[in-house]
């Protein structure tokens, strides 16, 4: 971790971002809002995982968004690529080590709610870990017992609500349920997820939320809805659809994030 941390500090050349952003599938366009960008391929940072998922760039882009220093991980590794729930541990620890205080996660997700259609943005207010996996399994000491009651930072969520009103973009809120993937859910699983209280389903984010809370970072997370859950419309789901639909909601999310960072005192 030390090698990656010192290399990142060297490449950032004095930039100290307090907010970091992880971009999900098809949401890479958000880096276009970064001014004075510094790009660092994950491959240049020892121990950073490579993402083999198409639609994920696999680089850090650091610079300014709304005149605030920001560090963006464009692309993430997923549990379903390797079977390691803690695959994002090193990048999150490195971010904490360079002074990041707040992590904003984004993903693409399937909606379980007719009133949250594809192209919408949903702020995650809480999650259900349906995978049975946890990135802290095997952690040796009592630090592993991380409280998750306030996993999603209330002040940041309020900033997002205010920002969404300022830019006139509807921001839904709901519960995200983590399925391991990589196969999509079955219609029966989607019906179950609804019964259990979920509003959206996806294959990422939850392990990173747990790791970020373990590292003491504040967390907020947003889903861009790319489709209705399996069986809700009759059509088959595909990653192609995710990549095609994500940029639409991604633009809306970009507006919210820019307004949010602009108004933030971090
Ligand atoms: N299920 C799981 N992950 C997803 C979906 C979905 O319907 N859409 C985008 N990511």
**DSSP secondary structure string for all residues of 73-84:** EES---HHHHS-
Q: How far is the CA of 175 from the centre of ligand 1 (A)?
A: 14
> Domain 2-264 is in which class?
alpha beta
The tokens for 195 are: 């019964």
Q: 230 near 113, Cβ under 8 Å?
A: no
Name the residue at shortest CA distance from atom 7 of ligand 1.
Answer: 110
What tens digit of pLDDT does each residue of 3-18 get?
A: 999 999 999 999 999 9
Tell me the average pLDDT across 90-106: 97
pLDDT for 57 equals 62
To test the pocket of ligand 1, the residue of 26, 120, 127, 184 to mutate (highest count of ligand atoms within 8 Å of its CB) is 184
**Mean per-residue pLDDT for 93-104?**
97
**Ligand 1 centre from 232 Cα, in Å?**
13
Please tell me if the CB atom of residue 204 comes closer than 6 angstroms to any atom of ligand 1. Answer: no
Residue 266 has pLDDT above 80, yes or no: no
For the segment 178-223, what is each residue's pLDDT rounded down to a tens digit? Answer: 999 999 999 999 999 999 999 999 999 999 999 999 999 999 999 9
Strands 121-129 and 68-74: unpaired
Mean pLDDT of the chain: 93
Among 252, 80, 86, residue whose Cα is nearest residue 179: 80
pLDDT bin (cut points 50, 70, 90) of residue 54 is low
Going by pLDDT thresholds of 50, 70 and 90, the confidence category of residue 53 is: low
Question: Quick one: CA dihedral 156, 37, 88, 128, positive or negative?
Answer: positive
Three-class DSSP category at 46: coil
**Predicted confidence (pLDDT) at residue 150 exceeds the cutoff of 80:** yes
Total-model pTM:
0.95
């Amino acid at each position: 971790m030390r090698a990656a941390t010192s290399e990142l500090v060297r490449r950032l050349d004095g930039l100290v971002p307090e907010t970091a952003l992880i971009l999900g599938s098809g949401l890479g366009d958000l880096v276009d809002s970064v001014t004075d960008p510094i790009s660092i391929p994950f491959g240049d940072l020892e121990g950073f995982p490579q993402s083999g998922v198409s639609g994920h760039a696999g680089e850090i882009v650091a610079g300014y968004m709304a005149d605030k220093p920001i560090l963006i991980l464009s692309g993430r590794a997923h549990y379903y690529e390797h079977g390691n729930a803690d695959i994002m541990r090193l990048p999150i620890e490195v971010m904490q080590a360079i002074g990041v205080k707040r992590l904003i996660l984004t993903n693409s997700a399937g909606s379980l709610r007719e009133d949250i259609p594809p192209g919408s943005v949903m702020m995650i207010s809480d999650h259900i870990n349906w995978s049975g996996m946890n990135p802290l399994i095997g952690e040796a000491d009592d630090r592993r017992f991380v409280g998750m009651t306030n996993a999603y930072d209330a002040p940041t969520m309020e900033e997002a609500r205010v920002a969404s009103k300022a830019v006139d973009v509807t921001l839904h809120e709901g519960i995200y349920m983590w399925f391991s993937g990589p196969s999509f859910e079955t219609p029966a699983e989607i019906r179950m997820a609804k019964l259990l209280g979920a509003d959206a389903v996806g294959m990422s984010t939850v392990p990173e939320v747990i790791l970020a809370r373990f590292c003491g970072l504040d967390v907020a997370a947003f889903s861009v809805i790319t489709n209705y859950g399996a069986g809700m419309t009759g059509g088959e789901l595909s990653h192609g659809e995710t990549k095609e639909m994500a940029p639409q909601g991604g633009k809306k999310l970009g507006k919210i994030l820019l307004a949010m960072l602009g108004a933030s005192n971090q």
